Amino acid sequence: MHITNDNWLNFKLAEKAVDNIPGADLISEESPVAHYGVFPIINHRKNDPKFVAFMDDVDRLDKAQQYVDKNYRVPGVAANIDPKKSFWKDYVTYPYPVKYADVKDGTGKSWQIGYMDEYAGTEKDPKVLVIIHGKGAFGGHYGNIMQYALRSGLRVIVPDLLHYGVSGPGNLDKSPARTMQDMRDVVHELVVNQLGARKAAYLGHSLGGSACDGLRAVLARGSLEHRARSACGARGISARGDDRSGKKLNLFDASFARDFDKWKQTWDQTGIPRERDRPVRAERSRLSSTSRNEIRSRAW
């Protein structure tokens, strides 16, 4: 930060210094009191995005030096699985302790949601990062991102979506026919209404990116702040498709929303579910003829 008409600390020398230091930047202004303008310039620039970003970086570096990751555990899956117990609750270790909450979607249906909620700082109202996992994944995949964010002084909330990861065992009695909006409503109810994170940055991967897209409208209804969103790999598919005879099918009929049998009746005509399941069936067949020791040795 420099005063352009400072005759004691020459401004042109400051510009040269910035040019010679990789990553350096310069904030400057003219002052009627010349050199002594260095004192009020901080107040003048307190809302300058460049200055705010710099001070946030300094704050994060300071917090990173003080950070003690006392709740971190090495993620993993146990070797010996008892089928009579819960795989997710008893044999999968998430990077941070898992908590549970009963949360209702927009239709009033109650779901048990597993999530991680970590903060290692002392601020009363810290900045919040919410991470939403992708299709076929779960929140435990994001331990390294959580560590980085926690070290930077953020509170991090990572829920598992309905029927994924630790949000599976408590909902086995419920149909998998639920909408994306149902999942958004549950995330909103958990994060905002139960955990109190009224302002947060949302980071969504793949399917989670699509969830974040729709969350913008949900958050707007409550006059909440949706500060950032990353929808990497959000997937799309044409709303119309053909069956094997060329007949046009409405693949996203609104009546499918919570009717699994009706959805299956239409989608089975495309052959897509069967084609997608073929590699899975083949892999199961191969594994059934392969000993546990062979699998373990190949994995290692």
Q: How confident is the model at residue 278 (pLDDT cuts 50, 70, 90)?
A: low
Q: What percent of the chain stands above pLDDT 90?
A: 47
pLDDT at 295: 34
Half-sphere exposure of 211 (CA within 13 A, CB side): 26
Q: Do the beta carbons of residue 156 and residue 118 sit within 8 Å?
A: yes
Span 85-106, mean pLDDT? 96
Which of the pair, 179 or 276, is modelled with greater confidence? 179
Q: Please check the confidence at residue 259 and state whether its pLDDT lies above 70.
A: yes
| Higher local confidence (pLDDT), 172 or 136 | 172
Choose between 269 and 97: higher pLDDT: 97
Tens of pLDDT, residue by residue over 10-38, are: 899 889 999 999 988 999 999 999 888 88
The residue among 221, 222, 203 whose CA lies nearest residue 211 is 203
- Where residue 170 falls among pLDDT bands split at 50, 70, 90? very high
Is 277 a residue whose pLDDT tops 80?
no
Are 63 and 70 contacting, i.e. CB atoms less than 8 angstroms apart? no
| pLDDT, greater one: 70 or 270 | 70
pLDDT tens per residue across span 279-291: 555 555 544 544 4
Residue 239's pLDDT is what? 55
Q: Which percentage of the chain shows pLDDT scores above 70? A: 81
The pLDDT of residue 242: 61
Residue 297 in this model has a pLDDT that exceeds 50: no
d(CA 287, CA 281): 10
131 exposure class (CB count in 10 Å sphere: 0-12, 13-18, 19+): buried
Query: Rounded to an integer, what distance in angstroms lies between the CA atom of residue 201 and that of residue 35?
Result: 39
d(CA 203, CA 199): 13
pTM over 0.75: no
